[in-house]
Structure 1
Amino acid sequence: MSEDIKTEQVADENIELEAISQESAKILDLEKQLGELTDKYYRANADFENLRKRVEKEKADIASYSNEKFARDLLPVIDALEMGAGFEAEDEFAKKIKEGIELSINEFKKALEKHGVSQISTDGEFDPNVHNAIMRVDSDAHESGAIVQVMQKGYLINGRVLRPAMVSIAN
């Protein structure tokens, strides 16, 4: 009888070990699933944060550049006023008209600057990012690649090119 009890105890121990082994396998499987789900959560959260930041940036860009089309439509008006201010005033009446045009130009530029529009610098070297070279000229007075003449002023809106400056450059 003692041998039957020992066999029964061994069988019970084997069943317990098998149950423990199955529980350990379940725990390992659950830990693996937890790791996968945690990884998916972190990735989804990171994707959401990236999307949120991108939407915020797009919203800021829309606000920053919302006046771009309107400002672009006003540039020919400024060009025409500047051409009008370029004449030589001979009498007192013409001088007053020229002065009024210049004041209008200054007010126009102040209003545009208030909304992020600024004139592109045309002093010095040609920059293909903001200048549009429409011709090359021979010039002993300028280094090669330097801007010789400005045909049309260029403008930026909040650092982005609204209209490139049309220039001629030295050979």
Structure 2
Amino acid sequence: MSPLLIVVGGLPATGKSTVAAELARRTGFSFLRVDTIEQAVLGSTALTPPLGPVGYVVARAVAADLLRTGVSVIAECVNPLAVTRDAWRDTATAHGARLLEAEIVCSDPAEHRRRAETRDTGIAGHVPPTWAAIVAREYEPWTRERLVVDTSRVPADEAAAVIEAAARPRR
């Protein structure tokens, strides 16, 4: 069976990283987190934020290597623009992989804000965006099918189970 690329996107502080990490534990798929890649780049170069597409370009290149060898991948990133979404789709297509796009949302603004203001990203040196930056962020509406999971309604383990179920090949 062909490998699977699961792209877990959504605004910061919606629970993407938590859900994606749980999904990786459940499936054994490789897990790429763009924030981790970007922080590693910042920590090893003289570059300063914002990095632009660097984290996405590196993540897609690593995902391509994994997919090419038949390894399924979970890529976690904000994925805010049609161009970033298309690039992930193109990566899957170019390497014969199936694609599942999942958008993680938190439909409760008070809970989303609480998460943004209290979270620990688990990445040394990483400074997450403020609530003001999150609500001001450019985030284009989706124009194609994707799985939407609302983490204000289901906990991370159930969200991961929903994505895992959607990832199963249809017979």
TM-score, normalized by length of structure 2?
Answer: 0.24
Q: Bigger relative contact order, structure 1 or 2, given CA contacts below 8 A and separation 6+? A: 2
The structure where helix makes up a greater share of residues is 1
TM-score, normalized by length of structure 1?
Answer: 0.24
Higher radius of gyration, 1 or 2: 1
